């Protein structure tokens, strides 16, 4: 009897370390964040001193005051996600079906940027898009941009930096999904007189949709909360919600507003992700 009970308890014991980790580093901080979001400053207290008054109007005030940055965060994240998808899908397709014996080398090159700091990679783009970089002079020579046009400190630079930094998160799920497709299904499509475009539209793309959904989620979620790219590659007019939260926490020392903005951002991302997954027909990923 004791051996049966021990076998029943064993799975729960194996889950215990993971649960303790999540409880300590995820649940407790979330609870603390929720408590902070409804606090108000102590009358006559020093800067950064707050008391719990359960003022839920903090959420409304925080959203109204920063609605522009809120909208900009999602616009930038959507643009970066779509651009990453446009780049990553052909890349993943080529690696999965056309790379041959170079497949492993190309996969290593995809994850190679992770060997360096996220911050350094972002700073590098500031140099690439700068006046002395190798992008601006050729564009001016071709007449694509004017002599006074700059690419740094613009929305374009922020979106481009986000696209580059999160591109592996899009490419790897797409590759994994495409690599699992049985080549015989595409051969069967050809046997049924389907051309390459029809085969891709009716066979390859539908079978790779789990990778598309996973890749877009892995790109959009961190991109919506990013603040490094906007801080380094942008300007005050391209600030995202992450920059506002960082400023409220560490500079202005307005903890309730920062916490309320964090919760609002998490809730908005959760709602959008849920709607997107249901629309894509992959509810099992929730």
Q: Is residue 17 part of a domain?
A: no
Q: Is residue 172 part of a domain?
A: yes
Q: Is residue 264 part of a domain?
A: yes
Would you state the structure tokens that stand for residue 29, as one six-digit string?
């901080």
DSSP the chain: -HHHHHHHHHHHHHHHHHHHHHIIIIIHHHHHHHHHHTEEEPTTPPTT-EEE---THHHHHHHHHTHHHHHHHHHHHHHHHHHHHHHHHHHHHHHHHT-GGGHHHHHHHHHGGGGS-HHHHHHHHHHHTSTTSSSHHHHHHTTSS-TT---TTSHHHHHHHHHHHHHHHHHHHHHHHHHTS-HHHHHHHHHTT--HHHHIIIIIHHHTHHHHHHHHHHHHHHHHT--HHHHHH--GGG--HHHHHHHHHHTS--HHHHHHHHHHHHHHHHHHHHHHHHHHT-GGG-
Contact between 30 and 270 (Cβ < 8 Å) = no
pLDDT for residue 285: 43
Mind listing the pLDDT tens digit for each residue in 92-137?
999 998 888 889 999 999 999 888 889 999 999 988 988 888 888 8
Q: Write the CATH number for 204.
A: 1.10.3720.10
pLDDT for residue 4: 59
Q: Is residue 98 part of a domain?
A: yes
CA distance linking residue 285 with residue 218, whole number of Å = 12
Q: How many domains does the chain have?
A: 1
CA distance linking residue 169 with residue 223, whole number of Å = 11
Q: Is residue 39 part of a domain?
A: no
For residue 171, what are the domain limits?
66-285
pLDDT for residue 31: 92
Q: Is residue 275 part of a domain?
A: yes
pLDDT for residue 281: 63
pLDDT for residue 66: 93
Q: Is residue 131 part of a domain?
A: yes
Q: Is residue 56 part of a domain?
A: no
For the segment 264-284, the average pLDDT, to the nearest whole number, is 82
For the segment 23-39, the average pLDDT, to the nearest whole number, is 92
Percent of the chain with pLDDT over 90: 55
**Average pLDDT for the chain:** 88
Determine how many CB atoms are found less than 10 A away from the CB of residue 178: 21
């Amino acid at each position: 009897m004791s051996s049966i009970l021990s076998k029943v308890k064993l799975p729960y014991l194996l889950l215990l370390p993971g649960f303790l980790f999540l409880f300590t580093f995820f649940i407790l901080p979330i609870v603390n964040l929720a408590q902070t979001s409804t606090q108000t400053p102590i009358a006559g207290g020093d800067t950064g001193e707050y008391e719990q008054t359960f003022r839920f109007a903090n959420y409304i005030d925080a959203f109204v005051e920063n609605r522009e940055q809120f909208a900009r965060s999602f616009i930038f994240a959507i643009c970066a996600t779509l651009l990453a998808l446009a780049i990553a899908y052909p890349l993943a397709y080529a690696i999965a079906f056309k790379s041959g014996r170079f497949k492993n080398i190309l996969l290593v090159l995809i994850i190679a940027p992770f060997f360096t700091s996220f911050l350094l990679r972002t700073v590098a783009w500031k140099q690439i898009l700068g006046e002395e970089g190798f992008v601006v002079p050729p564009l001016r020579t071709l007449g694509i941009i004017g002599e006074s046009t700059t690419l740094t400190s613009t929305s374009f630079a922020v979106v481009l930096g986000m696209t580059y930094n999160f591109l592996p998160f899009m490419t790897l799920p797409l590759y994994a999904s495409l690599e699992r497709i049985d080549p015989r299904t595409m051969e069967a499509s050809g046997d049924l007189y389907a051309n390459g475009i029809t085969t891709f539209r009716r066979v390859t793309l539908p079978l790779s949709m789990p990778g598309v959904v996973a890749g877009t989620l892995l790109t959009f979620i961190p991109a919506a909360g990013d603040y490094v790219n906007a801080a380094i590659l942008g300007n005050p007019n391209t600030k995202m919600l992450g920059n506002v939260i960082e400023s409220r926490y560490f500079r202005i020392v307005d903890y309730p507003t920062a916490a309320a903005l964090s919760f609002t951002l998490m809730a908005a991302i959760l709602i959008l992700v849920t709607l997107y997954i249901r629309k894509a027909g992959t509810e099992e990923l929730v």
